[in-house]
A = this chain, B = another copy of it.
């Protein structure tokens, strides 16, 4: 099945807003074997939008249109569809009652313009909206199904699911696109691709073909695998085999194959061992503590963190000897190690991490340029200390520092069973 996604709204033709709804819509259409061939953003322009509906009828199987269902003059989607299909707009008594009821419940007076949201092109089916006043609408014409959905995601999402179940899946069969994401850190995009490409290029011709997209994000590389399968079981099985093949060639730089973020992986590794963690940060400025505590339930293992920007804080709070800083500089392997040892000893946590570096844009020297970061990880099984040179602006150096620190800890513990999870 071929689909178009139309997003309606002049605000998405400004520099401020993208049509993000289309990502979730694409994912759910793909899962029932429906291929998105075109995405278009049109302004609040009745004639323009009507011309799109006309163009769609008979040329694609499905149109999903979001937005433009509000009560104001700017909301033209209902009218544009009626004009394109040459259909009359009738007021739907049930929808009108539901809108009245909604206003009453909230103690508000319903204005006349809100009655516009009860207008339904003749022949369309209403999808009642529990989270707002604009219902969804479904209509078929010339072999094309047209689905109108409200723009706000919390209204759009449940109506999309209902429409897929009622109208799209029954015509779609079991075939679908199924996905897995492999997350990698500590290697460059070209490096990962050189190793992975000979593997994933073969899958395109497999009985269950799998396509692969490589995405470089801050501090990590993602491989997105998409299986085009006759049913979900075959799709999942093919993906599991593909993930195993990639793990064989990529090895331990893969930190997650099940959607977990690095901080989730670290949380699971600590939990398995019943260990706690405490962190001492300089250039990363609290971002490591913040990422670790983004995980629900992290208070079970996260003990404390210190952001010791000043040398005095490093000495007073972490016991880093002033002479050590003097001799090696604040950004040094020795100081990173002393920070990790200090936070670990003073907190009594099982694991201590120390990060010290130059996030920039100022503060670099020829020997220690901006992006130089020293990281130490100390656990009951020993410790590691490493020096990195990260590139990019301040926030990227901060993020990469936290990613590298968690990755050092992960590799240090990677004898455990939870590094990869199928």
A residues contacting B by CB (< 8 A) are 11-20, 22-24, 26-27, 30, 36-43, 45, 48, 179, 213, 215, 224, 226, 281, 284-290, 292-294, 296-299, 302-310, 313, 317, 347, 359-363, 394-395, 398
- Return chain B residues, CB-CB under 8 Å to A292: 285
Q: Which of B14, B360, B363 contacts A224 (CB 8 A)?
A: B14
A216 to chain B, nearest CB (A): 11
Query: In the complex, A293 Cα to B179 Cα: how many Å?
Result: 37
Query: In the complex, A310 Cα to B347 Cα: how many Å?
Result: 10
Query: In the complex, A16 Cα to B22 Cα: how many Å?
Result: 10
Contact between A394 and B20, CB atoms less than 8 A apart? no
Contact between A286 and B296, CB atoms less than 8 A apart? no
Contact between A347 and B313, CB atoms less than 8 A apart? yes
With A38-B48, A361-B296 as known contacts, state yes or no: A215 contacts B307, CB within 8 Å: no
Contact between A289 and B285, CB atoms less than 8 A apart? yes
Q: Which of B16, B24, B285, B362 contacts A293 (CB 8 A)?
A: B285
29 A-B residue pairs with CB within 8 Å = A11-B213, A13-B38, A14-B224, A14-B226, A18-B18, A18-B19, A18-B20, A37-B43, A37-B48, A38-B41, A39-B40, A40-B40, A285-B292, A285-B298, A285-B302, A286-B287, A286-B289, A286-B290, A286-B293, A293-B359, A294-B395, A294-B398, A296-B362, A299-B309, A302-B307, A303-B313, A304-B313, A305-B305, A305-B307
Contact between A304 and B309, CB atoms less than 8 A apart? yes
Contact between B296 and A285, CB atoms less than 8 A apart? no
Contact between B307 and A293, CB atoms less than 8 A apart? yes
Contact between A26 and B13, CB atoms less than 8 A apart? yes
- Return chain B residues, CB-CB under 8 Å to A302: 285, 307, 309
Given pairs A16-B23, A18-B19, A293-B398, 4 additional interface contacts (CB within 8 A): A11-B213, A304-B308, A305-B306, A307-B307
Q: Which of B13, B313, B359 contacts A39 (CB 8 A)?
A: B13
With A37-B43, A285-B293 as known contacts, state yes or no: A306 contacts B304, CB within 8 Å: yes
Nearest B residue to A181 by beta-carbon distance? Answer: B16
Q: Which of B42, B288, B317, B347 contacts A286 (CB 8 A)?
A: B288
Nearest B residue to A39 by beta-carbon distance? Answer: B41
- Return chain B residues, CB-CB under 8 Å to A293: 285-286, 307, 309, 359, 398
- Return chain B residues, CB-CB under 8 Å to A224: 14, 16
Query: In the complex, A150 Cα to B347 Cα: how many Å?
Result: 52
Contact between A38 and B27, CB atoms less than 8 A apart? no
Contact between B40 and A14, CB atoms less than 8 A apart? no
Query: In the complex, A129 Cα to B22 Cα: how many Å?
Result: 32
- Return chain B residues, CB-CB under 8 Å to A23: 15-16, 18
Nearest B residue to A16 by beta-carbon distance? Answer: B224
Query: In the complex, A362 Cα to B13 Cα: how many Å?
Result: 41
Query: In the complex, A360 Cα to B296 Cα: how many Å?
Result: 7
- Return chain B residues, CB-CB under 8 Å to A305: 285-286, 305-307
Query: In the complex, A16 Cα to B222 Cα: how many Å?
Result: 11
- Return chain B residues, CB-CB under 8 Å to A37: 13, 43, 45, 48
- Return chain B residues, CB-CB under 8 Å to A308: 304
Q: Which of B36, B313, B394 contacts A296 (CB 8 A)?
A: B394
